[in-house]
A and B are shown apart, each in its own frame.
Chain A
Amino acid sequence: MDDLLWIFISTLLVNNFVLAYFLGLCPFLGVSGHLETSFRLGLATTFVLVITALCAWILNTYVLIYAPYLRLISFIVVIASTVQFIEMSIKKLSPALFKSLGIFLPLITTNCAILGLAIFATNRSYDLVEGLVFALGAGAGFTLAMVLMAGIREETEIMDVPVLIRGTAFNLIIAGILSMAFMGFAGLFSST
């Protein structure tokens, strides 16, 4: 139980996927203009991360013990096709849900956070439950970082920022300060 809590809090705060591992930076820097969109993108990513953890566990347990060299290629192929399949089924079953979350799905598949999660979970030899908790923590951490970033960016929209600084450079500096703030969470679990 302690272990699961540690995995969750660690990936949510101490080793945040975006701010400490630099995974999922494309949407973090690119699509974080609006709070509402960022939050929904975060939720959709969390969903895909959980699916990924499931796929990675199935592949690791049943396929890759016989052929470890196919790890990378099978992760990519299986995750992409599973997400595509889910996207199609959501489109058929619930157009409303598709409109709010589904449109992000193809975008998310190419996000390196997804592949990163599968590889990290394998390297740390997580079992199914640990993997799912890891995915939830990573997704929650990604959503948190997205929402914080979007909030700050919405605030700075009306500020008098020089034209030269606006854009990616500005976002990166905000991200740096956020990342520094998250460093304060280090040591959360190790006090004896």
Chain B
Amino acid sequence: MATDVSAYEEMIKGLWRDNPVFVQVLGMCPMLAVTNSAINAVVMGLATFFVLVTSSFLVSSFKQWIPKQVRISLYVIIIATFVTVVDYSILAMLPAIHKELGAFIPLIVANCMILGRQEAFASKHNVKYAVMDAVGMSGGFMIALLALGSVREILGVGALFGVDLFGANFEPWVIMILPPGGFLTLGLLLLFFNWFTERRRQFLIKVADADRMLAVEKVSTEGVKDNG
């Protein structure tokens, strides 16, 4: 039971607390380049999800046999293989979207988040934890992509997933689907995230101060179980 809880935590941490985009600021290049519409963001998110989960699975399963000296090269080969698989699959199944994403699907290889997870996590943990971590991290990446893609599409086109939202009277902010809109939206989203985290931190400090007595009591009885 205890292991299940921590595996679950490995997954959940990537979604919010250690979100690869908002907190670790990784994978900026695909993040900004393909988020001019929500559907592009979803396809990019799914592609990254597939590559990260399968590479983490492989790296973690074969970690005993991967010599330390050539590990980075091996990780890159594994990642590049799966990216090629994704590239050809999207080209075959969704040619219209492939045309829009274009060069940015092969560029998933250069997403530092994926290589970073192999080096920092998958190569040191069991398959189960590695996959959970990969699911969480790519989930967090997907959330960020979707947030950015939706904001940009709603403001820049007046639609979401191609469905018109505001009718003919809405004058779209074209700048939002152009490159500057990507930079500005992500900057503002990061700002919001920082503000939210800071507020939460201050709130927690206040709560901790007020309930110090209660908290001390709780730690003495349950703390051992929680930290184990």
Contacts and interface: CB of A to CB of B under 8 A. Distances in A.
Q: Do chains A and B touch in the complex (CB under 8 A)?
A: yes
Interface of A: 19-26, 29, 69, 71-73, 76-77, 80, 110-112, 114-116, 119-120, 123, 164-165, 167-173, 175-177, 179-180, 183
Nearest to B88: A69
Interface of B: 25, 28-29, 32-33, 73, 76-77, 80-81, 83-84, 87-88, 102-103, 106-107, 109-112, 115, 175, 178-184, 186-188, 190-191, 194-195, 198
A180 B179 CA distance: 8
A73 B29 contact: no
Contacts of A111: 110
Given A26-B28, A73-B84, A120-B103, A179 B109 contact: no
A25 B28 contact: yes
Contact of B84 (A21, A69, A123, A172): A69
B187 A172 contact: yes
A164 B187 contact: no
Ranked nearest first, the 8 interchain pairs of A and B with the lowest CB-CB distance are: A176-B183, A172-B187, A112-B110, A176-B184, A169-B190, A173-B187, A180-B180, A179-B180
Contact of A23 (B29, B87, B195): B29
Nearest to A23: B29
A29 to B, nearest CB: 7
Contact of B109 (A24, A72, A167): A72
B contacts with A: majority SS: helix
Contacts of A180: 175, 180
A80 B109 CA distance: 13
Nearest to A24: B29
A115 B106 contact: yes
Contacts of A172: 183-184, 186-187, 190
B110 A115 contact: yes
A119 B106 contact: yes
18 contacts: A22-B33, A25-B28, A29-B25, A72-B80, A110-B110, A112-B107, A112-B110, A123-B102, A123-B103, A168-B187, A172-B187, A173-B183, A173-B187, A176-B184, A179-B179, A180-B175, A183-B178, A183-B179
B111 to A, nearest CB: 8
A175 B184 CA distance: 8
B27 to A, nearest CB: 9
Given A26-B28, A112-B111, A176-B181, 7 more contacts: A73-B80, A111-B110, A164-B194, A172-B183, A172-B190, A180-B175, A183-B180
